Amino acid sequence: MFASADRKRVDDALRELSESGLDGIPGSLLEPIRYALAGEGKRLRPILAQLVHEACGGADDIIPLAISVEIIHTYSLVHDDLPCMDDDDVRRGRPTLHRKFSQREAVLAGAALIPIAARAVFRAGKKLGYDEGKCRAICRALLRGAGAEGMIGGQLRDLSAEGATLSLEAMESLHSAKTGDLILASARIGAISADASPEALTAVERYAKSLGLAFQIMDDVLDATGSTTTIGKTAGRDAALGKSTYVSILGVDRARQRAESLVKEGTDALLERGLLTSKLLEVANFILARNS
Amino acid sequence: MFASADRKRVDDALRELSESGLDGIPGSLLEPIRYALAGEGKRLRPILAQLVHEACGGADDIIPLAISVEIIHTYSLVHDDLPCMDDDDVRRGRPTLHRKFSQREAVLAGAALIPIAARAVFRAGKKLGYDEGKCRAICRALLRGAGAEGMIGGQLRDLSAEGATLSLEAMESLHSAKTGDLILASARIGAISADASPEALTAVERYAKSLGLAFQIMDDVLDATGSTTTIGKTAGRDAALGKSTYVSILGVDRARQRAESLVKEGTDALLERGLLTSKLLEVANFILARNS
């Protein structure tokens, strides 16, 4: 999971952008950017956008547009791994960007991915025949998730929380921003591109918020129980950094139960509106069952 | 120079955004973002956008929109000053952001300014009654200047050139990207917002490209001849880092002559199209005469 065919569509769209959509970038910067974009990943975010699009009645292949969220996600990983942040050496089974190149390349290539993502929206939106207003609404959803009030703010709060004991509420709020807002952006992009009704959009947002939190909880569970080889990044770092995690607060079993109950809330929100598809149910199950 | 009234309009617009346009950003990130936005500056870029707008027949106050370029410029300074980049302690007469806060805040707040800038375009464009297509064209000009093929690529090439001897051509190409592309973006934004003709846009671009290079040359001259107090950042760093500069290649006098001849080329391009206003001539003269 996900179906390798879905992941491959995302990989192909990223490769196409990497090879043909980065004109004019000097080689010294192009190399680290391509390295970042070539990393393997679950591709949860663009696949989720596509599946939400279909659940809302859309019939487009929005993967070339939805990779914008994966690009923002990739940028956040590059910066997150920096020595002044999480200081990590391994990501997605490869050396982190600043270990492969240098910190300079990591700071610059990371930031460069933000305008690349925004432009991917307009580039793909145009090909899909979306009007300017729709492209802009999609871009706004993307930047809102990526921005200081979303992911970036969550990153800083997460780093600042090292060594501190957080309440469950404080941690949920932090992770809603850090991980959740970009997953929420994916779902919004899927719904907006399908011209979803306001009611459908609300249901989709509830689903995405619940799944985003569940995803983070399972990340903590994996960090506490997985191995570096399996999860593709250094395992056990959270404990080493003295971070509050769902596992440190709830223990592994109750953390997993909390994730399950969140996933149920999310799928129920879609069910109520008749929007739950077999594939969106699979995504929900994947979040609980994943081992990497 | 510039007229303090013009600078004040930019400062006011940045303050308005800083105070009312950053909803939902957690305090720990808001503080460094506001610190970055509150730094003093020449405000060359937004003022240039406004003056080009007027020269092209526009009658709007586009400062609230044009501060997007100043925000991108500010982000680039924050990252440029990092220890893994230029490693600078003083900027615009104040401690650099990573010295005042930490490297984490500098990396995150810097990157956060990119979506803030893009959203400033849409926020201000909407208030000005610009349609989606126009907002998008402005946003594209902004991101093109800010991106990997422009400013960010130039930054990396600049850093990589430390200790290397560059030819004049290689250095001009580097600086066209690093400094020039954002000045070019300012001019484009002024012209697009005024619905300028393609011919007018071309003339404006020639003016901006020439001025951008002249600006960089004068930066090198100031670095070689100014004091830290006057220029608001550490003087003499280029020589200390063994960087090729216009001064190291041409000497102070010939570098200044090259700047003068570029400024003349730029103003001539506007004259040919009847677009040279008294204020755009002032900008050109300011670039040659500035001491900070």
**DSSP bridge pairs for A95:** A90
Is pLDDT above 90 for A75? yes
Rounded Cα–Cα distance for residues A191 and A51 (Å): 9
- The alpha carbon of A261 is separated from its chain's Cα centroid by a whole number of angstroms, namely 21
Is pLDDT above 90 for A239? no
Average confidence (pLDDT) over A1-14: 87
Is pLDDT above 90 for B110? yes
Domain boundary assignment for chain A: 4-289
Cα Rg, chain A, nearest whole Å = 18
Confidence of residue A166 (pLDDT cuts 50, 70, 90): confident
ipTM given for this complex: 0.86
Average confidence (pLDDT) over A193-217: 96
- Note whether A59 contacts B: Cβ–Cβ < 8 A: no
Residues of A in contact with B148 (CB under 8 A): 22, 25, 29-30, 33, 109, 112, 115-116
pLDDT computed for residue A228 by the predictor: 62
Is pLDDT above 90 for B232? no
**Share of residues in chain B with pLDDT > 70 (%):** 93
pLDDT computed for residue A229 by the predictor: 58
Is pLDDT above 60 for B1? no
Size of the A and B interface in Cβ pairs below 8 Å: 147
Pinpoint the alpha helices (H) of chain A: 4-20, 27-38, 44-55, 63-80, 97-100, 103-127, 132-146, 151-160, 168-175, 181-193, 198-225, 228-231, 237-240, 246-272, 278-289
pLDDT tens for each residue of B155-173: 888 888 877 888 888 888 8
CB of A186 closer than 8 Å to CB of A146:
no
* Mean pLDDT, chain A, whole residue set: 91
Rounded Cα–Cα distance for residues B282 and B267 (Å): 10
pLDDT computed for residue B243 by the predictor: 76
User: Which of B281, B155, B119 shows the shortest CA–CA distance to A28?
Assistant: B155
User: Which of A121, A108, A96, A143 shows the shortest CA–CA distance to A21?
Assistant: A121
- Note whether A177 contacts B: Cβ–Cβ < 8 A: yes
DSSP tag of A90: E
Q: Is the Cβ pair A148, B82 closer than 8 Å?
A: no
Q: Distance, in angstroms, between B132 CA and closest chain A CA?
A: 6
- Note whether B26 contacts A: Cβ–Cβ < 8 A: yes
Q: Is the Cβ pair B156, A28 closer than 8 Å?
A: yes
**Share of residues in chain B with pLDDT > 90 (%):** 67
Average confidence (pLDDT) over A228-252: 74
Q: Is the Cβ pair B115, A143 closer than 8 Å?
A: yes
Q: Is the Cβ pair B116, A147 closer than 8 Å?
A: yes
Q: Is the Cβ pair B115, A111 closer than 8 Å?
A: no
Q: Is the Cβ pair B148, A109 closer than 8 Å?
A: yes
pLDDT computed for residue B290 by the predictor: 77
Question: What are the backbone angles phi and psi of residue A40, rounded to the nearest 5°?
Answer: -75, 155
Say which amino acid occupies B78: V
Q: Is the Cβ pair B112, A147 closer than 8 Å?
A: yes
pLDDT computed for residue B213 by the predictor: 94
Q: Is the Cβ pair A153, B26 closer than 8 Å?
A: yes
What is the number of other CB atoms lying within 10 angstroms of the CB of residue B253? 10
Identify the three-state secondary structure at position A94: strand
HEC-encoded secondary structure of chain B = CCCHHHHHHHHHHHHHHHHHCCCCCCHHHHHHHHHHHHCCCCCHHHHHHHHHHHHCCCCCCCHHHHHHHHHHHHHHHHHHCCCCCCCCCEECCEECHHHHCCHHHHHHHHHHHHHHHHHHHHHHHHHCCCCHHHHHHHHHHHHHHHCCCCHHHHHHHHHHCCCCCCCHHHHHHHHHHHHHHHHHHHHHHHHHHCCCCHHHHHHHHHHHHHHHHHHHHHHHHHHHHCCHHHHCCCCCHHHHCCCCCHHHHHHHHHHHHHHHHHHHHHHHHHHHCCCCCHHHHHHHHHHHHCCC
- The alpha carbon of A232 is separated from its chain's Cα centroid by a whole number of angstroms, namely 16
Q: Name the CATH topology of A4-289.
A: Farnesyl Diphosphate Synthase (1.10.600)
Task: Find the residue in B nearest to A34 (Cα).
Answer: B148
Is pLDDT above 60 for A1? no
Confidence of residue A223 (pLDDT cuts 50, 70, 90): confident
* Mean pLDDT, chain B, whole residue set: 91
Task: Find the residue in A nearest to B79 (Cα).
Answer: A107
Confidence of residue A37 (pLDDT cuts 50, 70, 90): very high
User: Which of A215, A36, A5 shows the shortest CA–CA distance to A117?
Assistant: A36
Q: Is the Cβ pair B111, A79 closer than 8 Å?
A: yes
Q: Is the Cβ pair B107, A82 closer than 8 Å?
A: yes
Mutate to test the interface with A, among B30, B69, B149 (most CBs of A within 10 A): B149
**DSSP bridge pairs for B90:** B95
pLDDT tens for each residue of B30-86: 999 999 999 888 899 999 999 999 999 999 999 999 999 999 999 999 999 999 998
pLDDT tens for each residue of A118-158: 999 999 999 999 998 899 899 999 999 998 988 988 888 88
| Dihedral in degrees, nearest 10, Cα atoms A179, A181, A186, A189 | -170
For B90, half-sphere exposure in the C-beta direction (CA atoms, 13 angstrom radius) is 12
- Note whether B241 contacts A: Cβ–Cβ < 8 A: no
Is pLDDT above 80 for B217? yes
Confidence of residue A231 (pLDDT cuts 50, 70, 90): low
Is pLDDT above 60 for A97? yes
Confidence of residue A276 (pLDDT cuts 50, 70, 90): very high
DSSP tag of A95: E
Average confidence (pLDDT) over B143-162: 87
Residues of B in contact with A96 (CB under 8 A): none
- Tell how strand B90-91 and strand B94-95 pair up: antiparallel
Confidence of residue A3 (pLDDT cuts 50, 70, 90): confident
Is pLDDT above 80 for A230? no
pLDDT computed for residue B158 by the predictor: 85
- Tell how strand A94-95 and strand A90-91 pair up: antiparallel
pLDDT computed for residue B143 by the predictor: 92
Residue A24 has its nearest CB partner, among B115, B122, B149, at B149
Q: Distance, in angstroms, between A122 CA and closest chain B CA?
A: 9
